[in-house]
Structure formats: structure tokens, C-alpha cells
């Protein structure tokens, strides 16, 4: 592994205008500089630089869409094989993770509540503890990580990495309240009444989208995000139908295969597949079948019933065939998620969009004074690196808000 990473690093041309970084990376990871430091024996400095720019660097090195991002824009890829940049980033960030030393500014005597410990919440918590704020994370689940822990399967993102993260977060002084759902016993107003000077909502999108077809509540039908939270809880049988063909649907199908199902099929409504080619290749390698042009009509105890669609050469649907039953022991619906309304329905003054996402201004401030929001709960289902990028901006806006609050308090004293 190490020799491979070194060889890859040595192939970097140190481009003056590095497209891998400028065009390829949503968070502008300093790729040539990372590689330069690494080859100069300054891995720790490279790790520090990566963490400062992207506290989820070690995770992004595993789960980003590298083919279309850094690697996809590597100039070496024009002539032959692109440099395997994520392996280099992973090697450096993984080695650095347990050694991170967070320098903190003088304590500010102001408290921030962060609701949700996905990449958005963790990024805001890290950035603000560095600024000297007292930070508490409230998390509905028992551990930190959000969809990184309870959505992305562990064969793609080992849970050990998230455990090491959690330990680090606690070591640097972030307070953590697990198993605490805001909007349940505690409401957001309670946090403000208890003296938190700002609140950041990073609760993601966890409400499975319904298909609204007959049979959706049957005992052998499940939703992807529910299943992925705890696959051990399910007894799916040998044959499983997965409805949807995006990356999440493929995560479901590959997890189901690993848990012993022998006959797993992905059913896509259209000819266009949302999943990336690499994910489709992995699904094929795992023996998962893909059926396109199958519109779900109904679920039964014997399996889902589809209406097969007929397409012309351009991929336009020009007709339908008679419905068919595809026998399956279980079905899993994997067609995306929307936001839950637990917080907004128990708080007055937080506006939402027509999709139920939290409405914010360009700084991440919601319509309620002192309450900010970031990540998927604002943008809808996106990805880790974009959640981090947006959360960095929100952390800065919270710092500015709290600085102004401090200044106003000093002026009035």
C-alpha cells in the first residue's frame, strides 16, 4: 500500500494550474501542495493542512465521487492513468487523525448548540471550538457520524474511522448528548432559554420518500434509510427486490448480498440510471441484477408488481405492457429522502421551503435570530464534501454573529 501511494505521488506533475484542485474538488483541497509535502517528508504538515481545509478529509478520501472530481481532472489521465489522489489523501489523513492537535483561541464565554453530528454538524463544532466557543452536540442516535455512520455501508466506510473521530471530538472538549432528539422532550426554544448564544441545525434528510402505491405498509416492504441504519434487524429472505437505481439503492443491494441474499435485483423506472458507472460495476460484480423500465405498481406478499415500459431508440417511453409480478421475499424502497419536521414543527419562526427544507440566507442564518442551518437539511440530499464546504461558511457566519453579540454586550455595559 505505502509503496503504491509513493509511486502515485511521484507521478504528480505539480501543475501550475492544478485542475484536480481548481475544477475537480468542491472544497479546493490543496492537492499538489499535499503531495509536495508528503514527498518532502512532511506528512504531518500535509495532514494538518488537509484537516484545516476539510475536517472530514479522511472520510472524503474514501467516499467522494473521485472519478468525476480530483482524479477525473488529473492531467495524467489525459495520456494514461490519472493519479490515484484519494489513496494519497487517505494515507496522509488517516495517519494524522489520531495526532490532530486542535489549537483553541481564548475562551469566549459563549455557548453554541449543534443539533446533529453528521459532517455538517461536526464541521461547525470543530471550527467553533477552535474559535474558543463552548460547543455541545445534540444527537438523536447513540453515536456521532450521521449518514456517514448510519447510511454509507461499512464496507465502503469502516466504522472504526468514525469511532476514532468521535474519540477525537470528545478529547478536544466538544460536549456530546447522544440519544437526544431535539423536538422530542427538549425543544429548540429550551436551548435558547438555557443560554446557548447560537444554535446550528444540521439534521440532514431522514424521512424516506414514499412511492404512494398499494402495499407500501406490508410486512415485507422496507425503506432504504431505515434498513441501512441497522441491517442486522431485518430478516429479508433469499430474494430481494430493490426499487430505485441510484447510489443509495446500490448500497442497499450490496449490503443485502453481504448479508446472505442470493437473488437481488435493482428495478429502475426509466432507462436513465442515477448511479455512477463505478457503483453499477460493483453491483454487477456482486451478482446484482438490474432491470430498467420497470414502473412499480403495487407490493404484494409474493413480491412487487411492475408495469414494464416500452421505450423508443431515444429512450422516450412510448407505451406500457401488462403488469407483471416479480416474486421476491422482500422489497426495499430506495428512492431518496426528505427532511423530517420534528424541529420546525415544535419551534415558531423557522421558515421552510416548499420541499420542507430549512430556508436560510446566504450565510446559513434561518428566519429565527441566532439559529443557523447547514448541510442536507438546507440543500436536500447531497454529499459529504458539499456538507462540509457549506458548514465551513456557516461556522464563519456564526462566529461573526457571536462576535457582534459580544461587541453589543460590551458597548451596553
Minimal distance in Å, beta carbon 165 to ligand FAD?
Answer: 13
- Output the CA–CA distances (angstroms, integers) from residue 22 to 30, 299, 383, 411, in the order listed: 9, 47, 19, 43
Task: Identify which of residues 88 and 152 has a Cβ nearer to ligand FAD in the complex.
Answer: 152
Residue span 58-87 as binding mask against ligand FAD, x where in contact by CB under 6 A, dash where not: -----xx-----------------------
Q: What part of residues 129-148 is at the interface with ligand FAD (CB under 6 A)?
A: 138-141, 146-148
Phi, psi of 267, rounded to the nearest 5 degrees: -115, 120
Task: Identify which of residues 342 and 392 has a Cβ nearer to ligand FAD in the complex.
Answer: 342
Residue span 217-256 as binding mask against ligand FAD, x where in contact by CB under 6 A, dash where not: --------x--x------------------xx--x-----
Asked whether position 268 contacts ligand FAD by CB under 6 A, the answer is: no
What is the grid cell recorded at 262? 442470493
Listed residue (335, 337, 332) closest to 256, CA to CA: 332
Asked whether position 292 contacts ligand FAD by CB under 6 A, the answer is: no
Q: What part of residues 361-380 is at the interface with ligand FAD (CB under 6 A)?
A: 375-377
For ligand FAD, the binding residue among 204, 244, 304, 370 (CB under 6 A) is: 204
Asked whether position 186 contacts ligand FAD by CB under 6 A, the answer is: no
For ligand FAD, the binding residue among 24, 47, 55, 121 (CB under 6 A) is: 121
How many chain residues bind ligand FAD (CB under 6 A)?
40
Asked whether position 283 contacts ligand FAD by CB under 6 A, the answer is: no
Asked whether position 55 contacts ligand FAD by CB under 6 A, the answer is: no
Minimal distance in Å, beta carbon 137 to ligand FAD?
Answer: 9
Task: Identify which of residues 46 and 125 has a Cβ nearer to ligand FAD in the complex.
Answer: 125
Asked whether position 358 contacts ligand FAD by CB under 6 A, the answer is: no
With beta carbons less than 8 A apart as the criterion, state whether 203 and 343 touch: yes
Please state, as a whole number, how many other Cβ atoms lie within 10 Å of the Cβ of residue 355.
9
For ligand FAD, the binding residue among 117, 130, 239, 394 (CB under 6 A) is: 117
Asked whether position 30 contacts ligand FAD by CB under 6 A, the answer is: no
Q: What is the 3-state secondary structure (H, E, C) of the chain?
A: CHHHHHHHHHCCCCCCCCHHHHCCCCCCCCHHHHHHHHHCCCHHHHHHHHHHHCCCHHHHHHHCCHHHCCHHHCCHHHHCCCCCHHHHHHHHHHHHHCCCCCCCCCCCCCEEEEECCCHHHHHHHHHHHHCCCEEEEECCCCCCCCHHHHCCCCCCCCHHHHHHHHHHHHHCCCEEECCCCECCCECHHHHHHCCCCEEEECCCCCEECCCCCECCCCCCEEEHHHHHHCHHHCCCCCEEEEECCCHHHHHHHHHHHHCCCCEEEEECCCCCCCCCHHHHHHHHHCCCEEECCEEEEEEECCEEEEEEEEECCCCCEEEECCCEECCCCEEEECCCEECCCCCHHHCCCCCECCCCCECCCCCCECCCCCEEECCHHHHCCCCHHHHHHHHHHHHHHHHHHHHHHHHHHHHHC
For ligand FAD, the binding residue among 37, 200, 387, 397 (CB under 6 A) is: 387
Asked whether position 112 contacts ligand FAD by CB under 6 A, the answer is: no
Asked whether position 47 contacts ligand FAD by CB under 6 A, the answer is: no
Task: Identify which of residues 182 and 333 has a Cβ nearer to ligand FAD in the complex.
Answer: 182
Minimal distance in Å, beta carbon 202 to ligand FAD?
Answer: 5
Cell 406478499 found at: 301
Minimal distance in Å, beta carbon 273 to ligand FAD?
Answer: 16
Task: Identify which of residues 175 and 405 has a Cβ nearer to ligand FAD in the complex.
Answer: 175
Minimal distance in Å, beta carbon 105 to ligand FAD?
Answer: 24
Distance CA 87, CA 240 (A): 34
Task: Identify which of residues 85 and 385 has a Cβ nearer to ligand FAD in the complex.
Answer: 385
Asked whether position 208 contacts ligand FAD by CB under 6 A, the answer is: no
Asked whether position 115 contacts ligand FAD by CB under 6 A, the answer is: yes
Minimal distance in Å, beta carbon 384 to ligand FAD?
Answer: 4
With beta carbons less than 8 A apart as the criterion, state whether 118 and 376 touch: yes
Q: Which positions touch ligand FAD (CB under 6 A)? A: 63-64, 115-121, 138-141, 146-148, 151-152, 181-183, 202-204, 206, 225, 228, 247-248, 251, 342-343, 375-377, 382-385, 387
Amino acid at each position: 500500500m505505502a509503496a503504491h501511494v509513493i509511486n502515485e505521488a511521484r507521478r504528480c506533475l505539480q501543475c501550475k494550474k492544478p485542475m484536480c484542485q481548481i475544477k475537480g474538488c468542491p472544497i479546493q483541497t490543496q492537492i499538489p501542495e499535499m503531495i509536495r509535502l508528503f514527498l518532502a517528508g512532511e506528512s504531518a504538515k500535509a495532514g494538518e493542512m488537509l484537516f484545516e481545509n476539510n475536517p472530514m478529509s479522511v472520510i472524503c478520501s474514501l467516499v467522494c465521487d473521485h472519478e468525476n472530481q480530483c482524479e477525473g481532472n488529473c492531467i495524467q489521465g489525459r495520456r494514461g492513468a490519472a493519479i490515484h489522489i484519494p489513496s494519497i489523501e487517505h494515507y496522509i489523513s488517516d495517519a494524522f487523525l489520531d495526532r490532530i492537535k486542535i489549537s483553541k483561541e481564548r475562551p469566549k464565554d459563549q455557548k453554541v448548540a449543534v443539533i446533529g453530528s453528521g459532517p455538517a454538524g461536526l464541521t461547525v463544532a470543530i471550527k467553533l471550538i477552535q474559535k474558543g466557543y463552548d460547543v455541545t452536540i445534540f444527537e438523536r442516535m447513540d453515536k456521532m457520524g450521521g449518514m456517514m455512520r448510519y447510511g454509507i455501508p461499512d464496507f465502503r466506510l469502516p466504522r472504526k474511522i468514525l469511532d476514532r473521530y468521535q474519540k477525537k471530538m470528545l478529547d478536544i472538549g466538544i460536549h456530546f448528548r447522544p440519544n437526544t432528539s431535539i423536538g422530542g422532550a427538549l425543544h429548540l426554544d429550551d436551548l435558547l432559554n438555557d443560554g446557548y448564544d447560537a444554535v446550528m441545525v444540521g439534521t440532514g434528510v431522514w424521512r424516506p420518500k414514499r412511492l404512494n402505491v398499494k402495499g407500501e405498509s406490508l410486512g415485507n416492504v422496507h425503506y432504504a434509510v431505515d434498513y441501512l441504519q441497522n441491517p442486522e434487524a431485518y430478516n429479508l429472505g433469499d430474494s430481494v427486490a430493490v426499487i430505485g437505481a441510484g447510489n443509495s439503492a446500490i448500497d442497499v443491494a450490496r449490503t443485502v448480498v453481504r448479508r446472505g441474499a442470493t437473488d437481488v435485483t435493482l428495478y429502475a423506472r426509466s432507462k436513465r440510471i442515477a448511479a455512477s458507472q463505478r457503483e453499477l460495476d460493483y453491483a454487477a460484480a456482486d451478482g446484482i441484477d438490474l432491470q430498467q423500465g420497470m414502473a412499480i405498481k403495487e407490493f404484494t406478499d409474493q413480491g412487487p408488481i411492475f408495469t414494464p415500459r416500452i421505450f423508443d431508440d431515444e429512450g422516450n417511453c412510448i407505451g406500457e405492457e401488462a403488469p407483471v409480478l416479480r416474486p421476491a421475499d422482500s422489497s426495499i424502497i430506495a428512492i431518496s429522502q426528505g427532511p423530517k419536521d420534528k424541529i420546525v414543527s415544535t419551534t415558531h419562526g423557522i421558515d421552510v421551503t416548499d420541499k420542507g427544507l430549512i430556508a436560510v440566507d446566504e450565510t446559513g442564518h434561518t428566519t429565527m435570530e441566532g439559529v443557523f442551518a447547514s448541510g442536507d437539511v438546507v440543500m436536500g440530499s447531497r454529499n459529504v464534501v458539499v456538507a462540509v464546504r457549506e458548514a465551513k461558511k456557516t461556522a464563519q457566519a456564526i462566529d461573526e454573529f457571536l462576535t457582534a453579540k459580544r461587541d453589543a454586550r460590551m458597548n451596553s455595559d
